[in-house]
Structure 1
Amino acid sequence: MSHVLTLVAAPGGLDRSLLTRVTEALTALGGTVDAPDWLAPGAAADLPFSGLAADQADAAARQVLGGTAVDAVAQPAEGRRKRLLVADMDSTIVQNETLDELAAYAGFGEKVAEITRRSMNGEIDFAAALRERVALLRGLELGALEATWRQTRLMPGAEALVRTMVANGAHCALASGGFTFFTGRVAALCGFTSHHANILLDDGSRLTGQVEEPVFDRDSKLVVLKQLASENGLALAETLAVGDGANDLAMLGAAGLGVAFHAKPIVAAAARARVEHGDLLALLYLQGYRQAEILGLV
C-alpha cells in the first residue's frame, strides 16, 4: 500500500469497531484498505491504504472520529521513520512556558504571559516580543532561574520519544525561542543530541534585561532544521519537526513530517499533521514504531 493512516488514542481508547468505521469511510471514497496493524494494543494502529491522497484520508478519518479523543494522521508509507527530529521546548517537550514562570519571580507574570500568548498566536513579532519580555527581567537574581527549573516538568512521552529515536540512529535537536539555561538541562534529561536557543545576559549575579543578539526566532528554527539535515546528509523528507506556536510554523512547513502538538489555533489551522489528544508517544507511532520498541515503557 502506498500510504498509511495512523490512529492514536489513550490506552484502551481505540477499538476494532472504530477502525472498521474509518476503513468503511476510506473505502467509500474509492480507497483500498488493508487490515489494521496494531502498534500498541488499544492505543495505536496503522491502516495501510492506496487510492487516496493523504489529506483525503485525514479528512475522512476526522469526520468519522468526530469528538472522539483519537488523533489521525495519514502519510506516504515509504520513509515514515525519520532520521532527524527538531523539537520546540515550551509547551511541547516541557509542560511549562519557562519565560512566563521566570517572569513571575520578577512580579510581571501576568503581563509577560499575555505577551507570550499574543506572540505564540502570531499576533505580534516574536523577536520584538522576546526583547520586551526579557527587559522586564532586568535585575532579577540568577537564583530565579534555578527556582524556575525546579518547577519545570517534561511532557509525557518526551524522554521516550527522544531516547527511542536516538537509539535508532536519529539526531534529535531542541530548538527553542526560550533560553539555553533551560534547553541545556532539558537536552541532558531527555538525551537530545543538540540544543539551540537564546542566551540570557547577566552581570554575574542578576539578569541585565537583555538577550544576546541575534534573537533565535522562527527563521532560526528553520535554519537549524536545514543545517542539521545537510550536516547529516539527509533530505528534508527524512526530518520530523514538532511545535505548538507561531514561531514553529516555518520549520513545521519545511519538515518531511511537521506535527502541530496541542497547538495554538493559527498553527493547528496551518499544519496538516496534528496531535490534539495524545502525548509525545504519538510521534513514535506516526513513524511506525511499535510499543515494544519504545524505550522507557513498562
Structure 2
Amino acid sequence: MTSTPVLITATGPDKPGVSSVLFAALTSRGVEVHDVEQVVIRGRLVLGVLVAVDNDPEALQEAVEQAMATVAMSVDVKIGDEIGTEPFAQGRQDSTHVLTLLGRPLTAQSIYAVAGKLASVDANIDAIRSIADYPVTGLEVELSVEKDTPEADAELRSILADFANRGGLDVSIQRSGLSRRAKRLVVFDVDSTLIQGEVIEMLAAHVGVEPQVREITEAAMRGEINFTESLERRVALLEGLPEAAMDEVADTIELTPGARTTIRTLKRLGFQCGVVSGGFMRIIDRLVDDLGLDFAAANELEVVDGKLTGRVVGEVVDRPGKAKALNRFADEFGIPVQQCVAVGDGANDIDMLSAAGMGIAFNAKPALREVADAALSYPYLDAILFMLGVTRTEVEAADAADGLDLVRP
C-alpha cells in the first residue's frame, strides 16, 4: 500500500502540552513520523511535522485540527502533491556549511544582502537560529551548497569575505560536521587582543619614547617591516628603564571586554586556553595567574642591575615563532592542530592563524583578515564564542549555575 505524505504546521503561543496534544492526535491515526521541526520566537511557537498515513488523510487532517483547537493553536495541513513529490526515502539533506552573522545592529538589509550572495552561488538556507542578543546580535545559518566541491567552497568563502570586508557585519563560514565541533585548544595573542593596548608602548611611556615605539609597532602590524626587526628596534629604545616599571605596567593592564567571559566559558567546555605573544613574559605571567591560563609563550627582556639593557634574551617569539609555539602546545596536550583555534590582530599572527584549524582575526589589520577563517570587527572578545557555536543563553545559564550574578551594562 502506498502511503500519503501529510505536512502539519501548527502556530500559536508557546506553552506546555502543545506537542503532546498534536502527537496524541497523530498516534490515534497510526501515522509514521518522518521529520519534525520546532522553533520558538519571542514566545510564538512554530511546530512542523511530516508524516505518512496509509489511508484517509482527510480524517487525519480533521483530527489534527480539532485537537489543536483545544490548545488555541492555528494549524495548516497539506496533503500529497501539495507538499511536493520528493520520496520520503530521500530525507532531508545534511547541511554542508554553517554561517555565523554578527552585527550591532544586525539589520534586515544586511541579512537580505547576505541571502542574495548565497543565492548567487546556489547555496540554500536550511535553518536559522539566534545565538546572541548581547553584546552583538548573532545568527547561525545552516547552508547546503548544491555542488559541494572545493571550488564551490572557495567561491562561497570569497564572496562572503568580500561582503564582510565592506564593514557593518561580521561573517564566518565553516564546514559542517564533526570537525567544527571538535575544537579543543584556543591560543590568543595578547596586545590589542586579550588586553587593550600595546604593552611595549606602555613601557615606552615611562622613558618618553612612546611615539617612536608606536610608529614602529604600526609599521610591523601592517606588515611593512618584519616583527623581529621591529622588536629589536623598540626594545633598544627601552634601555635603562627600571625593572620595576614592568610591574607598574602590569598593574594598569585592562582586559578586552568579554575576555574573562570567554576564558571562563571555554574552560568550562574543556578547552585548553593560553597565549602566544610577541610581548614580554614578565608581564604575561600576571595574566596567566589571573585568568587561569594553561600555557604561555612570550619574549624575555634582559635585565642587569635592576635595569633593562635594551635587548631580548633567548629565542624570539616572532611571526614564525608564534606558529611554532602553537604547534608545540598542541603536541604537549595531544591535540591535532586542526582542532586548535588561534586569535590575533596583526601581521605577526598570520602564520599562527594559518596553522590553526580555525583562525580568527580580531579587530585586525587587512593583512591578517585576508588569511583568517573569520574576522571580528566589534571590540568584544566573547563574540569568539558565538563563532564556535556557543550561544549567549548558554553562557549566562552556566554563569548563573556557578553563582555568578553578572549584570549586563
Matches within 5 A, 1:276-287: 276-287=377-388
Q: Distance in 1 between matches of 2:101 and 2:319?
A: 30
Structure 1 residue 218 corresponds to structure 2 residue 319: yes
What is the DSSP-based 3-state SS (H/G/I as helix, E as strand, rest coil) of the residue aligned with 1:270? coil
Give 1:265 shift.
Answer: 2.4
- Compared CA separation, residues 55 and 157, structure 1 to 2 (3 A): farther
Structure 1 residue 69 corresponds to structure 2 residue 163: no
Structure 1 residue 45 corresponds to structure 2 residue 45: no
Matches within 5 A, 1:99-114: 99-114=200-215
- Compared CA separation, residues 199 and 29, structure 1 to 2 (3 A): same
In the other structure, the counterpart of 1:33 is: 125
Indicate if the aligned counterparts of 1:164 and 1:293 stay in contact, CA closer than 8 A: no
Indicate if the aligned counterparts of 2:256 and 2:379 stay in contact, CA closer than 8 A: no
CA deviation profile, 1:179-220 (whole Å, cap 9, x unmatched): 012211122223321111011121252212221122111222
In the other structure, the counterpart of 1:265 is: 366
Give 1:27 shift.
Answer: 2.7
- Compared CA separation, residues 163 and 138, structure 1 to 2 (3 A): same
Q: Runs of 5+ in structure 1 lacking a partner?
A: none
Q: Distance in 1 between matches of 2:365 and 2:107?
A: 29
Q: Which amino acid aligns with 1:289?
A: V
Give 1:160 shift.
Answer: 1.4
Indicate if the aligned counterparts of 1:115 and 1:129 stay in contact, CA closer than 8 A: yes
Q: Distance in 2 between matches of 1:121 and 1:91?
A: 14
Q: Distance in 1 between matches of 2:341 and 2:210?
A: 33
Q: Distance in 1 between matches of 2:168 and 2:157?
A: 15
Q: Which amino acid aligns with 1:113?
A: R
Give 1:289 shift.
Answer: 0.4
CA deviation profile, 1:153-186 (whole Å, cap 9, x unmatched): 1111112112211211111110000001221112
Identify which of structures 1 and 2 has the higher relative contact order when contacts are C-alpha pairs closer than 8 Å and 6+ apart.
Answer: 1
Indicate if the aligned counterparts of 1:179 and 1:197 stay in contact, CA closer than 8 A: yes
Greater share of residues in strand: 2
How many correspondences in the alignment?
Answer: 296
Q: Distance in 2 between matches of 1:138 and 1:65?
A: 43
CA deviation profile, 1:92-143 (whole Å, cap 9, x unmatched): 1111100011011112111111111112222222112212211221111123
Indicate if the aligned counterparts of 1:159 and 1:191 stay in contact, CA closer than 8 A: no
Q: Distance in 2 between matches of 1:56 and 1:4?
A: 15
Indicate if the aligned counterparts of 2:110 and 2:169 stay in contact, CA closer than 8 A: no
Q: Which amino acid aligns with 1:8?
A: L
What is the DSSP-based 3-state SS (H/G/I as helix, E as strand, rest coil) of the residue aligned with 1:155? coil
Q: Runs of 5+ in structure 2 lacking a partner?
A: 1-94, 400-405
Query: What TM-score, normalized to structure 1?
Result: 0.90
Q: Which amino acid aligns with 1:48?
A: E
Give 1:268 shift.
Answer: 2.1
- Which of structure 1's runs of 4+ aligned residues deviate more than 3 A? 15-21, 52-68, 295-298
Matches within 5 A, 1:1-298: 1-10=95-104, 13-15=105-107, 18-41=110-133, 43-51=137-145, 53-61=152-160, 69-78=168-177, 79-81=179-181, 82-294=183-395, 298=407
Q: Distance in 2 between matches of 1:243 and 1:64?
A: 21
Give 1:277 shift.
Answer: 2.9
- Name whichever of 211-220 and 93-102 sits farther off: 211-220
Indicate if the aligned counterparts of 1:241 and 1:251 stay in contact, CA closer than 8 A: yes
Q: Distance in 2 between matches of 1:64 and 1:242?
A: 21
Indicate if the aligned counterparts of 1:5 and 1:47 stay in contact, CA closer than 8 A: yes
Name the larger-Rg structure: 2
Q: Distance in 2 between matches of 1:262 and 1:26?
A: 25
